[in-house]
Amino acid sequence: GNSVTQMEGPVTLSEEAFLTINCTYTATGYPSLFWYVQYPGEGLQLLLKATKADDKGSNKGFEATYRKETTSFHLEKGSVQVSDSAVYFCALGNTDKLIFGTGTRLQVFP
Amino acid sequence: SQTIHQWPATLVQPVGSPLSLECTVEGTSNPNLYWYRQAAGRGLQLLFYSVGIGQISSEVPQNLSASRPQDRQFILSSKKLLLSDSGFYLCAWSGGRGQDYGYTFGSGTRLTVV
């Protein structure tokens, strides 16, 4: 079946530190992969996506590369800001649904 | 442009009371519609999805039901709430291939059952 596994949080970083949030998936076929972000008290916003192997999605300084050989889609950012504090969800799209990971909370301190 | 509206934003209901949460989409036709629940400290659980008027698929057997009386309206209901129904409820929509382009989420309803 289809599933997404994310690293446990919270991830705690100082401002300007490098961020990696790991995401691996199990899927049949060739899913699209997504990262969503949820700021406190809000709904989810699409952060970036990739639709095929070796694609790199990027937005607001965040990047993730679709790695078919390792079934991974790790989220990275070179220098985090306090305003990046949020919960990040990895998701895969297959058939007509998105399947989400459990989310990883990121806390950035000044 | 397309927009999605959810209401109410917050709701406190006693155990055993009924529930009705509404979601509407503007600026598109025949969207796929979804209800998710996010329990405290947990991930997103898909509850229902709909690909057309009157067409509802249930992902998890539970105390809730969904209806789609109009093309761009999706309603989540319960006849009698349980304490375990507390959580953050999110409505989302997608075009024909949401699995490729992603979903757009509403701002959510925080439900507390007391």
Cis preceding-peptide flag for A40 (omega within 30 of 0)? no
Mean pLDDT score, A33-62: 94
Segment (H or E) for B76 = strand B73-78
Please state, as a whole number, how many other Cβ atoms lie within 10 Å of the Cβ of residue B47: 19
Note whether A43 contacts B108, CB cutoff 8 Å. yes
Partners of B99 on chain A (C-beta within 8 Å) are 31-32, 93-98
Q: For residues A2 and A99, is the Cβ–Cβ distance under 8 A?
A: yes
Mutation pick from A38, A89, A92, A98 vs chain B, by most beta carbons of B within 10 Å, is A98
Mean pLDDT score, A95-104: 86
CB-nearest partner of B99 from A43, A96, A103: A96
Q: Say how many CB pairs under 8 Å bridge A and B.
A: 61
Mean pLDDT score, B68-95: 94
Q: What angle do CA A89, B52, B46 make, to 5 degrees?
A: 25
Model confidence at B39, pLDDT cuts 50, 70, 90, reads confident
Give the distance, in angstroms, between the CA of residue B13 and the centroid of all CA atoms in the same chain. Answer: 17
Note whether B43 contacts A44, CB cutoff 8 Å. no
Segment (H or E) for B101 = helix B98-101
Q: Tell me phi and psi for residue B85, to 5 degrees.
A: -80, -10
Note whether A93 contacts B102, CB cutoff 8 Å. yes
Mean pLDDT score, A29-35: 91
Model confidence at B102, pLDDT cuts 50, 70, 90, reads confident
Model confidence at A82, pLDDT cuts 50, 70, 90, reads very high
pLDDT of residue B61: 66
- Going by C-beta distance under 8 Å and a sequence separation of 6 or more, which residues neighbour residue B51? A96, B32, B57
pLDDT at B97 over 80: no
Q: Report the chain A residue with the minimal C-alpha distance to residue B33.
A: A97
A42 CA to chain B: closest CA distance, Å?
A: 5
Please state, in angstroms and as integers, the Cα–Cα distance from residue A73 to each residue in A49, A85, A92, A95, following that order: 10, 20, 10, 19
In three-state secondary structure terms, A107 is strand
CB-nearest partner of B90 from A43, A51, A102: A43
pLDDT of residue B1: 84
Note whether A34 contacts B51, CB cutoff 8 Å. no
Please state, in angstroms and as integers, the Cα–Cα distance from residue A4 to each residue in A8, A24, A32, A41, B35, following that order: 12, 6, 12, 24, 19
- Express as a percent the part of chain A with pLDDT over 70: 100
pLDDT at B23 over 80: yes
User: What mean pLDDT is reported for chain B?
Assistant: 91
